[in-house]
Amino acid sequence: MHILVLNGPNLNLLGTREPDIYGRDTLADIEAACRTLAGDLGVTVAFEQSNHEGALVDALHAARTGADGVILNAGAYTHTSIALRDAISATGMAVIELHLSNTHARETFRHVSMIAPVCIGVIQGFGAAGYGLALRAIVAHLGAHAG
């Protein structure tokens, strides 16, 4: 089983960007933890990050032939991108929406997700630990729907 972890805008700045909201773990720290957990779970993971909406759409399209499922932290695009929503729908892939912070405890414009209705689930508010939760959840989901 192969999982793509796809990160959107500004997540390349983790560790220094608003650490009181997003924590002090860098994206490299999160990737290392995910690789370790993936090994424990017997799956492989790949990581991509882009600040550009079209690149995220392209990554979702490419995942159709290279991944079994996707963990997507779309950042601010969560609340604005019909293009990402359509890409998730078009691929038919299992996608988990992920956020480091609890978006419902923040500004009201962050309370609406354009992508949640086409994802299999949403994990948010657990900081960097959310990536491990999402990885375990997608592996369990895909395993339950295999065959």
Share of the chain above pLDDT 70, in %: 99
Which of 2, 99, 104, 111 is the catalytic position?
99
Tell me what pLDDT residue 93 has. Answer: 97
Two structure tokens written together for 86: 């359509």
Q: Please name the helix (run of DSSP H) or strand (run of DSSP E) that holds residue 55, with its range, or none.
A: helix 53-66
Residue 124, H or E segment: strand 121-124
Mark whether 22 is an active-site residue: yes
CB 138 within 8 A of CB 108: no
Domain containing 112 equals 2-144
- Strand-pairing partners, residue 3, are 45, 69
Q: State pLDDT tens for residues 68-125.
A: 999 999 999 999 999 999 999 999 999 999 999 999 888 888 899 999 999 999 999 9
77 is catalytic: no
> Per-residue pLDDT for 38 more than 80?
yes
Instruction: Tell me the pLDDT band of 147, cut-offs 50, 70 and 90.
Output: low
Mean predicted lDDT score pLDDT of the chain: 95
Q: Which member of 2, 22, 52, 77 is catalytic?
A: 22
Q: What is the pTM of this model?
A: 0.95
Q: At what angle do helices 82-91 and 53-66 cross, to 10 degrees?
A: 10
HSE-CB at 61 with a 13 A cutoff on CA atoms is 10
Query: Which pLDDT value is given to residue 21?
Result: 81
Number of domains in the chain: 1
Alpha-carbon distance 30 to 73, whole Å? 12
Element (H, E) at 71: strand 69-73
Number of Cβ within a 10 Å radius of residue 118: 19
CATH code, 56: 3.40.50.9100
